Structure formats: structure tokens, C-alpha cells
Structure 1
Amino acid sequence: MTRNQQILLDNRPQGEATESNFRLVTAEVPALQDGQVLVRHHYLSLDPYMRGRMNDSKSYADAQPLGEVMIGGTVGEVVESRNPKFARGDQVVGMGGWQEYSVVDGDAPGMLRKVDTTHVPLSHYLGAVGMPGVTAWYGLVKIIAPKAGETVVVSAATGAVGSAFAALAKARGCRVVGIAGGPDKCRYATEELGFDVCIDYREHGDIKAMSRALKEACPDGIDGYFENVGGYILDAVLLRANAFARVAVCGMIAGYDGQPLPLQNPALILINRMKIEGFIVSEHMEVWPEALKELGTLVGSGKLRPRETVAQGLAAAPGAFLGLLKGRNFGKQLVKITP
């Protein structure tokens, strides 16, 4: 029998998440049934949405059950198959979770997808050419729907979503402004990701300072905003928004530990006749093929050069995840599971 290391959610956070919320265990991989596929994971994706799933509260998805393998996107290799759609050696992307191996029903829609690593590295299918990239695509194309020459802003600008957003927005002729933490990230945003300007939120730590920085970076105002953070940054964006601005709400990482995030001046939504729309990318699978095609072309042509932070070994996942929530990662946060 194959031994399988797994990380379970052991208990729910009381406020800020800690490593003690997780538990590392070893289990045996069960024998495959007809139609099933055994995948050995090479990389695990760590994403901010996982923090919300750790809470037992009302949300867009069910809470992560206690005592079960943490949810998470994975890429890897088929090592055994009892399904004619998959063969040993196939490179695949799925939702295998925080573990070394997963047994997947190969016939279940959307559970496992073969990928081509000729021009796109396998790990990028968890970032720029995966769920985060499609998230950026949907928020930009379907909600913000920018015209050439408009100004769009994204928070968490150098992460997996923000970096894809920049390439997609520049391809549509937009002025693209990012908000990120620290001079190194801001330099990467402008020099490698194509942002016109990047604002360091650590240098502009309240609504007045951020509003001034946005006024300078966006002299013609803000037409579209992709929201990953919430808090005072959203308040500052609303102060600089143009009439009929559009806001795509993807995440509110500032509130993931449970504290409320009140808006200081919600009347601006009415004054500016703004559209604010939250979305969950997994509810829009119909756009994935179109989005992935464009994202794959951007990566293959070098117009999107995503950066990755890679933790080594499954046991490092909890610490890397907590670092992600604090902004310690640079680009997409991954865990390399295979040696």
C-alpha cells in the first residue's frame, strides 16, 4: 500500500489562524475502483479563500469539515488509472487537497483536467493559467468590462490574480495601477508585470494617504477596481472613482479573521452610480476555456511572467499559508510536494 501524508483541519481558528489549527497525519491510499485515477501531486496551491473556509460561518461555500483533508488545488501526474480517459504519466490539474496523493473519479465533470506542459510550466496551471488567472479574467472582462484608455486598479497587485490582471488589462489598452506591499513588489509590478504605477500600501497606511496616492497615480480618476483586500483601501478607491465606475469584488482578505469591514462613505456608490459585483469564479465555468486560452498565450509569449514562492514539502504548507495571509509571499504561493 502507498503511504499518503495529509494535512487536516484539526480545529477552527479563534480570530487569527495558527499552525495549531492543522494536523499532519499519514494514511494509506485505497485500492482503485473502476473509473478512478490515482494522482501523485507535484504542487499544492495556497490561496486566500482557504482562510474563509476554515470558519464555520455563512459564506458562498460550505465550511471546511473538521478532521478532513484541507481543500486545495493541485497539479501532478497520473500514477495509476482505471479510467480510459487517463493514462499513467498524464499531467493533470485538479482539487486534490493538502496531501501527497488523491484518488479521483475520472468521470466526474471538472474534477481532473489534462494539461499540456510544452509551453506552460506545470506549476503555472495553479496560478496564471489556472483558477487565479481565470479569476482575474472574469472580473476584468465580464464585470469591469474596460474600454481602451480607461484606468483600472487592482489590490494585491503582485499576487497570482493581480499579475494576470495586469497583463489582461494592458492587452485591452488600459492604464493599470497596482497596490502592493513593499518597494520590491512595487518595482516588480512596474518593471516586469507591466503596471503603469504601483502604490506601496505600507507607505500609505490610512485612507487619506492612500487617497492622495491614488489621485496622483490616477489623474483621470478610476474607472474599474478589482478588489482583493477591503478595508481602508476600498474606502480610498471609492473617493477617487469616476461616475459609472465598476468594482469586481473577489476577496476581502482584511476581514478573513472575522472582524467587520464597514465602509466609511457608502453614499459614494450612489453619487457615482457605481456597479459593485461580487463573484465566485467556479460558478462561471463556461468562460474558463476562453480565459485559459488567452492566459496561456500571454504566458507562452512572455507577456505574462508570473513569479512563484515555493515552500518545500507538505509539512511546510501551514506556515506558508499563514505567511500568504500576511503578504509574505512574492507572486503565487505554492508548496512543492514531490522531492
Structure 2
Amino acid sequence: MPSTPSTHREVRLAAVPDGLPRPEHFTVAQVPTPRPGPGEILVRNRAFLVFAALLRTMIGAAAAGLPGVRPGEPLPGPAIGEVVTAPDGSGFEPGDLVGHDLGWREYATVPVDGCRPLGNSLADPVAHLSQGWTAYGALTRAVDVRPGDTVLVTGAAGAVGSLAGQIARLLGAGRVIGTTGSAEKADRLTTELGYDAAVVRGAGPVAKQLTDGAPDGIDVLLDTVGGEQLQAAVAVARPHARFVLVGALSAQLAAEGLGISAPVELDLVPVVLKRIHLHGFNAADHPDMLGEWTERFGGWLREGRIQFPHVRLPGIDRAPEAFQQVTDGRHIGAVIVELQQRE
């Protein structure tokens, strides 16, 4: 392992945003490299995930199990890295690849119980930052996709949705439909990522497009958006449809507001008459599922049966830009910042 530098860089919240964060709400600070205390592991980060729900932490609220952040503090987030030093008896050794939640910095001191060993289960370590385990858990633990189901995924081009359609197909879905924000993304969903049809937000009433894409209705909804798209899903749901709600991008990516409230008006008459099942889901409630997902994900990747859509931006200085690209919806799949080793 290379020697540990005396200083490192971390991305801090510069000011609480009053809407969607912009690059000026972040600062990249050069600070002393942290020194591990008792029961802590020093990790050199290799990459971290940038995702929309992090907005909640920037206004002091918890998000996806991450604590709120105040101005001047570094941002948290899923990361992978290499162990530099570890306490005796911890089970970790220098050079081990680990996952943890202290991204947005080059080095991190992480409690032993906050690190998880990653080993070589995935050929590309960055794939450990996939949010596919949320989609996998939602479709196996919350709604249980059945052979022949018609599955709708909202926000299908996002980090969760771009894998959800592929996973639904691998679990036996007969037809998979996604919603997205542009015709270009819709084309990629249907030509590259296993979707049979795509609904383009803003290209006409969502409910009408859904009726065209699923004339017999939908059996399963994996919803990352809420809002109008959830309303439309109720309208086209088949009797006994199963809905799993995993996100609220309609609020998190709204130009106004703080992304902490996502009100939606649902017509309860069809919900009751169709006996629609609504299930809120958080993958963190199923820690045992992560190993199962990683094994299946790795197998599917090796067999060429699934893709991991993502973009990598090199260097921690790109992190503020990366967040803006996420909120702008510029990419399909996950957005990851790769950290380059400094000599």
C-alpha cells in the first residue's frame, strides 16, 4: 500500500440549498488526513456513489440511513475503498476491499462494524455501488414478481430503474414498461435495457401512454417517482396489482421545495375496488439480502444477462458537478466519482 499522505480532500456542504443544490453549495477542502481511533479502520476510498436522495442530508434530514449534514461538514454516501490500517482482531487486513457510507472524501476512518468486506465477488469493484439491490429487494421481498407479470418501473433511466427492468425480466416478467424524461432515454431503455415500451414524461398524458404500452393493465409497479406517474399507475392497474414504493423523485428533483415532502392525490375508489396492494420498501430493512443480491448480480454479469448502466467521473473535484448532473437527469444509471491515487 502507498504511504498515507498528511492531507487529503473531502467535499463539504458550503451552504444549505434553498432548492436543488448547485456547485456553489459545495466546497472541496484540503484537510489533515484522519487518524483512526480505537475500533476504527482507515480506508483509502476508490469511488463513491452520487444520488438524488442525498439532498435530504443537505438540509439536515436523514436520507437512506445517512445522517443530516450541516454547513462545513463532509457529505456521506456509499463508497468502496481499500483498508490502510485496521485494529488487531478486526478481521480486516491492509489492502482488503471494503464498502462503507463515508464517501465524498479521499480517506475515511470507519468503525469496524461500519465496514463490510467485498472480496472479489464482482469482477469490477465499482459494481458494488450499484443500487440494483434496492430493485432486487423490492421485486423479491415486497411484491414477488411472478411469471408473465406486466411490470411498470417509474424513473426507469435512474440508478434503480435502469436495473429494475432487467431484474424484472430475469425474474420472469412477461412485459416490462418504463417511464423516463426524454425520447433518447426511452430509445435506450427499449434497445439496450430490456424494456418493451417506454413512456416519455411530457410527451402526452402519462395514463394514455401507459394504456397504449400496457393495454391489458399492469400487475406490478416499482415506483421511484410518485406524483402523476403513481396516479396513472393506479388507473391502469389490474385487479390485485402489487405496488412497491421505493422513492419520490418527483419531489427530490423538483425545481422548488426541499425534497422532503411528496404529496400525491390518489383516487381511492380504484385502489379499493381493484384491491391494489401498496408497499413502502427500504432495502436497508433487509441486510441479509445484500449477499444474495451480490451473488446473483455477479452471476448475471458474468453470463452477460444484465448490464450495469453507469457513468464514472474521475477526481473528487468533479463531485459537485456530478451531483448537478444527477439532478439534471443527464445520464442513464448510476453516477460514480472515481478517486485517483495521489503520489
Q: With the length of structure 2 as denominator, give the TM-score of the two structures.
A: 0.88
| 1:10 pairs with 2:10 | no
Hey, what does 1:185 align to over in structure 2?
A: 185
Contact 1:34 1:83 in 2 (8 A): no
The secondary structure found in structure 1 opposite 2:69 is: coil
Hey, what does 1:71 align to over in structure 2?
A: 76
Query: In the aligned structure 2, how far is the partner of 1:202 from the partner of 1:185?
Result: 13
Distance change (3 Å), C-alpha of 1:200 and 1:74 = same
Contact 1:160 1:306 in 2 (8 A): no
Contact 2:122 2:128 in 1 (8 A): no
Contact 2:239 2:274 in 1 (8 A): yes
Contact 1:229 1:251 in 2 (8 A): yes
Distance change (3 Å), C-alpha of 1:150 and 1:137 = same
> What is the correspondence of 1:188-227 to structure 2 with a 5 Å cutoff?
188-204=188-204, 209-227=205-223
Hey, what does 1:146 align to over in structure 2?
A: 145
User: Given the alignment, which residue of 279, 290, 293 partners 1:291?
Assistant: 293
Query: In the aligned structure 2, how far is the partner of 1:326 from the partner of 1:151?
Result: 29
| Structure 2, gaps ≥5 residues long | none
Distance change (3 Å), C-alpha of 1:59 and 1:316 = closer
The secondary structure found in structure 2 opposite 1:52 is: helix
Contact 2:182 2:201 in 1 (8 A): yes
Q: CA deviation at 1:50?
A: 0.7
After superposition, give the CA deviation of every residue in 1:238-257 in whole Å (9 maximum; x if it has no partner). 11111211111111111123
Query: In the aligned structure 2, how far is the partner of 1:183 from the partner of 1:15?
Result: 27
Q: CA deviation at 1:124?
A: 0.6
Query: In the aligned structure 2, how far is the partner of 1:83 from the partner of 1:296?
Result: 31
Contact 1:180 1:199 in 2 (8 A): yes
Hey, what does 2:282 align to over in structure 1?
A: 280
Q: CA deviation at 1:272?
A: 1.9
Contact 2:226 2:264 in 1 (8 A): no
User: Given the alignment, which residue of 101, 114, 118 partners 2:107?
Assistant: 101
Q: CA deviation at 1:310?
A: 1.6
CA RMSD of aligned residues (A): 2.2
After superposition, give the CA deviation of every residue in 1:234-290 in whole Å (9 maximum; x if it has no partner). 111111111211111111111123365332534332232211121221122122222
Query: In the aligned structure 2, how far is the partner of 1:337 from the partner of 1:303?
Result: 29
The secondary structure found in structure 1 opposite 2:279 is: strand
After superposition, give the CA deviation of every residue in 1:114-139 in whole Å (9 maximum; x if it has no partner). 22346520111001xxxx11100111
User: Given the alignment, which residue of 16, 32, 46 partners 1:28?
Assistant: 32
Query: In the aligned structure 2, how far is the partner of 1:114 from the partner of 1:57?
Result: 28
| Structure 1, gaps ≥5 residues long | none
Q: How many residues align?
A: 328
User: Given the alignment, which residue of 102, 113, 120 partners 2:123?
Assistant: 120
Equivalent AA in structure 2 for residue 310 of structure 1: R
After superposition, give the CA deviation of every residue in 1:141-186 in whole Å (9 maximum; x if it has no partner). 1222121111111112132211221222112221211112223322
Distance change (3 Å), C-alpha of 1:306 and 1:53 = same
Query: In the aligned structure 2, how far is the partner of 1:274 from the partner of 1:27?
Result: 53
Equivalent AA in structure 2 for residue 73 of structure 1: P
Hey, what does 2:134 align to over in structure 1?
A: 135
The secondary structure found in structure 1 opposite 2:160 is: helix
Query: In the aligned structure 1, how far is the partner of 2:86 from the partner of 2:232?
Result: 53
Hey, what does 1:246 align to over in structure 2?
A: 242
The secondary structure found in structure 1 opposite 2:288 is: helix
Query: In the aligned structure 2, how far is the partner of 1:281 from the partner of 1:119?
Result: 20
Query: In the aligned structure 2, how far is the partner of 1:153 from the partner of 1:223?
Result: 8
Distance change (3 Å), C-alpha of 1:119 and 1:125 = closer
Query: In the aligned structure 1, how far is the partner of 2:111 from the partner of 2:64?
Result: 25
Hey, what does 2:273 align to over in structure 1?
A: 271
Q: Structure 1 vs Structure 2: percent identity of aligned residues?
A: 26
Query: In the aligned structure 2, how far is the partner of 1:240 from the partner of 1:215?
Result: 7
Query: In the aligned structure 1, how far is the partner of 2:122 from the partner of 2:249?
Result: 33
The secondary structure found in structure 2 opposite 1:164 is: helix
Hey, what does 2:322 align to over in structure 1?
A: 320
Contact 1:41 1:338 in 2 (8 A): no
Contact 1:32 1:82 in 2 (8 A): no
